[in-house]
Structure 1
Amino acid sequence: MPTRRTFLTTTALTAATHAFAAPKDNDIKIALIGCGGRGTGACHQALSAGSTIKLVAVVDPLEGKAQAALDILKAKHEGQVEVPPDQVFTNFEDYTKAFALADVVLITTPPGPRPFLFEQAIQAGKHVFMEKPVAVDAMGAKRVIAAAQVAKQKKLNVCVGFQRRYQPSYLDMISRIHAGEIGDLIYGRVYWNGTSRPGFPREPGESELHYQIRNWYFFTWMSGDHILEQHCHNLDVANWVMKGEMPIKATGQGGRQVRRAKENGTIFDHHTVEFEYANGMRILSQCCQIGGKCARDVSEHFHGTKGAADLANGGKFLLNGQPPGGKRTRNKEDPYQLEHDAFFENIRTGKVRIDAEYAAHSTLMGVMGRMATYTGQVITWEQVMASQESLAPDNLTWDTEPPVKPDEEGWYPVAIPGTTIVG
């Protein structure tokens, strides 16, 4: 496995001839695996990247999800949705049939199954768009890194939904940080303190696996907890600013202060972690989903010997108090669309960009933070990379036993800092 210092996140576009380079007048066929809100949105952005991009297959095991996504996409993209009834798949294992029909696979399932599906897509020789985080545990992230090496050999494009990496204001700010405009870095702060969301109540007669998949956000084996599922965006910015150097250790606190109902599954509602680097640099990470009148903040801040940089602070990007090249706000850019535009342009022109490695390292940073908050212990990078914890089973079917189960009263096991051990 790579050491902390051997991976740089500034992956350049490399011109190459790969397994499928589509001339601009040829159709690019895509399959959508996971038809929830984010999957439908990602597919809309993919189809918006060019009129010759065609959706040919969809997969989602939850009843009605696949058809609901198709109805939305057909209304927005006339002539680009070519999915006959026999290519609307509703079994987990049908991903293989969808892969066979497509040139590009969109993996927008919950995070748990992503490492397995990514491996299978790369083995099948498909270009991949995959949502973040790329895994829910260290074992899964390491599998993604290994599959990314195969993608390099096959010259396949891999785009991961860390859309800030494609956003002009972030690109500008971080290039200026790397150029030394705020001096040597001494401290960073990254936040995703947002709104809460309710869990879904159990339906009469619903199987345990069906319930956990439908309520996936609240189960660590499916979502990774919100320190991964959402806060990974901010951790990825930190990883980007640090040029891929990973922290040597993490110390954190977290728990369930408000979301303590049975339908809140196994995850926490707040995490605070301090990451320490070999040179003494520290980054404070904070994410909470308490709701109510709690302060909200989704932003990143970096302090150096010459000044400070504030990224997306209230939608503004400031360097030493001055807008970089004029005031920039996020609503003037659509980074979700920009990443798909770049992804499909690379496919058309034969260039290759692989986001999977830096995305896996940013995922590992989130896993490191969760290990710290769940255990209350100091967690080292070596512990993370040696971890054998594997939360999500491969080859899910409706007969798969859920990795966690409720007790007789319907309560799920929740980590207890100071008691829980992860390894």
Structure 2
Amino acid sequence: MTISASPAPVATRADAAAPIRVATIGAGRIGSNHTALIARHVPGAVVAAVADPVDGAAARLAETVGAGFATTDIDDVLGSPDVDAVLITAPARSHSELVCRAAQAGKHVFCEKPMAVTLDEADRAIAAADAAGVVLQVGFNRRFAPGFAAARRAVDDGRVGTPQLLRSLTRDPGPWQADPARVPQWTIFLETLIHDFDTLCFLNPGARPVRVHAFADALVRPDAKTSGHLDTAVVTITFDNGAIATAEANFSALYGYDVRGEVFGSNGMATAGDGRTTDMTFYGAAGVEIDTARADTVLLHSAYVGELTAFVDAVRTGGAAVVGGADARTALQIALAAIRSVQTGATVEIDEVQ
């Protein structure tokens, strides 16, 4: 794939107050969630179109949200003068190519994580967006979750002091019932822990990751390990300011969706994340109970709304994305270093991953 030297002009409209017209590419689970949020919860935006190559998928989602049209041909969306921006929620391995195509067509881009699965792909996506002058935002939603945003403010305000120890974890809700054969290799690093890698960088601003050591196994489905499946991992990351961070993930937390973060520093500590759906605690004969979230779309609803609202605002004002291509590249580089560490059993210097 090559990047055009003369990208299409960025979509503009005579009425600057008109809503941003957004098209979704990929009508699966997360695409359906994001599209519904745009339609119902993001001010100043409308869903203009939905595209998905699976017959009927786009039409069903478009009908649900009242989109203008649905198509199985992505070029129908990219070539439409009635689309200002796209949400890329297709399978991860197609993200970089779609970012490049959308940017060349002059569309602003919100891309779900990971933006790419190789550094070369990431660089091409960033270059395409820069050449076209479009907004490129990547879906690292935890930055927009109230608790994580407050933890970052505690760092920025100096209340935490110099970060020394950090932790981020993702435990997907169980029981995990997916077919391991249908899970792309290295998913735990490229699609799950990629969130944690970005979170750790977010909570340690200005610092650069320098080395990584990772451990991974198939503990949820030990029978699938021989095929390369991994569902449990722990990664340690050292930053150039001396901070040491830990990221961990597992595909099957029976008690619900568990996402947490922590930054400990010279002046104090900030933590974020709670699996509760409400602050109610029930005390009964069987013991103490709390209700926990069983899906990311429930636990992180406000974060998803926040990131999509920030994207639409950036498109409208011409501002920079809150979390952009460079942030996605850094998280990907950590993920690739972790994969190499698992393959070799050695600590990997980030600069070795090029």
**Structure 2 length as normaliser, TM-score?**
0.79
- Hey, what does 2:339 align to over in structure 1? 370
Aligned partners of 1:148 and 1:357 also within 8 Å: no
Letter of the 2:273 counterpart: A
| Corresponding residue of 1:327 | none
The residue that corresponds to 1:397 in the other structure is: none
Matched, 1:96 2:75: yes
Alignment of 1:262-341 (within 5 A): 266-291=228-253, 297-314=258-275, 334-341=302-309
Contact 1:199 1:264 in 2 (8 A): no
2:136 to 154, 158, 164: 158
Alpha carbons of 1:248 and 1:301: their partners in 2 closer, same or farther (altered >3 Å)? same
Percent of matched pairs sharing the same residue: 25
Aligned-partner residue type, residue 365 of structure 1: I
* Structure 1 outlier segments of 4+, above 6 Å: 262-265, 330-333
**Deviation (angstroms), 1:339:** 1.9
The corresponding residue for 1:82 is: 68
- How far apart are the structure 2 equivalents of 1:289 and 1:273? 15
- 2:123 is matched with 142
Pairwise CA distance, 1:52: 5.9
**1:20 partnered with 2:12:** yes
In structure 2, the partner of 1:62 is 54
Give 1:181 shift: 0.9
Q: Distance in 1 between matches of 2:268 and 2:20?
A: 47
Q: 1:268 to 1:88 in 2, by over 3 A?
A: same
Kindly provide the amino acid, as one letter, of the partner of residue 57 in structure 2.
Answer: K
Asked if the contact 2:169–2:260 (Cα under 8 Å) also holds between the matched residues in 1, the reply is yes
- Following TM superposition, by how much is the alpha carbon of 1:234 offset from its aligned partner in structure 2, in angstroms? 2.1
Q: 1:342 Cα deviation (Å)?
A: 2.4
**Secondary structure in structure 2 of the residue aligned to 1:231:** helix
Aligned counterpart in structure 2 of residue 34 of structure 1, from 20, 26, 29 = 26
Q: Which has the higher contact order (CA 8 A, sep 6+)?
A: 1
CA shift for structure 1 position 73: 2.3
**Counterpart code for 1:312:** G
What is the rounded CA distance, in whole Å, between the counterparts of 1:305 and 1:298 in structure 2?
24
Q: Alpha carbons of 1:21 and 1:272: their partners in 2 closer, same or farther (altered >3 Å)?
A: farther
How far apart are residue 314 of structure 1 and its match?
Answer: 4.7
Q: Distance in 2 between matches of 1:332 and 1:136?
A: 24
Distance 2:124 2:20 in 1: 27
| Aligned CA-pair RMSD | 3.1
TM-score by length of 1: 0.67
Structure 1 residue 163, shift from structure 2 partner? 2.1
Matched length = 321
| CA drift at 1:53 | 1.9
Following superposition, the deviation at residue 359 of structure 1 comes to: 2.2
Preserved contact between residue 11 and residue 84 of structure 2 (Cα < 8 Å) = no
Structure 2 counterpart SS, 1:230: helix
How far 1:379 sits from its partner (Å)? 1.4
Instruction: Report the CA distance between 1:242 and its aligned residue.
Output: 2.0
